[in-house]
Copies of this chain bind each other. A is one copy, B any other.
Amino acid sequence: MTAAAVRGGRSVTADDVLDVAGQIVERHGVDALTMRRLADELGVAVTSIYWHVGNRDAVLDGLVDRLLARMEALAPTGDTPGDRVASLARQLRVTLLERPHLVGLAHERDRTPAMFLPVQQAMATELAALGRTGADAALVLRGLQVHVVSSTLMARAAARNASHGTVDPDLWPDDWEDPDLVEALAAPADYDEVFEYGLAAILEAVHREFTATTAD
């Protein structure tokens, strides 16, 4: 079933182009996105894409813009400011985990700050409700961002290694003196747990220092 059939015969739109392009990029990587393949899957001539959205660079830009729009749509849930910050961190994390190729694309194009901005602002609002503002809040925001980014990186690296069957222990010499260490490093860490653990630690620190400040 071609994309043209899906569209029921009506002509292609810019949105259709980006839909298909997004699927190719997320399923097979950025390199797999060729103008000819894109045109084929759309059931249209290559040059038609140039009419609707522009050249390959414009297509990739469009995909990044869509990712940024999705980031703007993230909204906190929960009753307390702490819960709401945590929910934003979790939503940011799953968005990053589900679209690794698009995130990489945004990073290559120096759109990372713009990508994080909406959650950063939403988190800042919650932190203000906790009495944390200024340079103080900036520190927490940076800490949360680093935590989310690094934990998603670790999780993805682990997932790729597992699926490739490249097991760590083979790389260590057989006579290494601390087999427990090798085993512990090879064990597939539960990165959801690692993430939640670090998140809780950061939020606890935020509350602790808050009550310490207000106790003065």
Residues in chain A within 8 A of chain B (CB atoms): 107, 110, 112-114, 117, 120-121, 124, 128, 133-135, 137-139, 141-142, 146, 149-151, 153-154, 157, 160-161, 164, 166, 168, 171-172, 176-178, 180-181, 184-185, 189
23 contacts between A and B (CB under 8 A): A107-B157, A110-B166, A113-B161, A113-B166, A113-B171, A114-B171, A117-B171, A124-B181, A128-B178, A134-B181, A134-B184, A135-B180, A135-B184, A137-B178, A138-B184, A138-B185, A141-B185, A142-B154, A142-B185, A142-B189, A149-B150, A149-B153, A150-B150
Q: Which of B110, B185, B189 contacts A164 (CB 8 A)?
A: B110
Give A31 Cβ to nearest chain B Cβ, in Å: 10
Q: How many copies does the complex hold?
A: 2
Contacting residues, chain B, for A150 (C-beta < 8 A): 146, 149-150, 153
Docked complex Cα distance between A142 and B181 (Å): 11
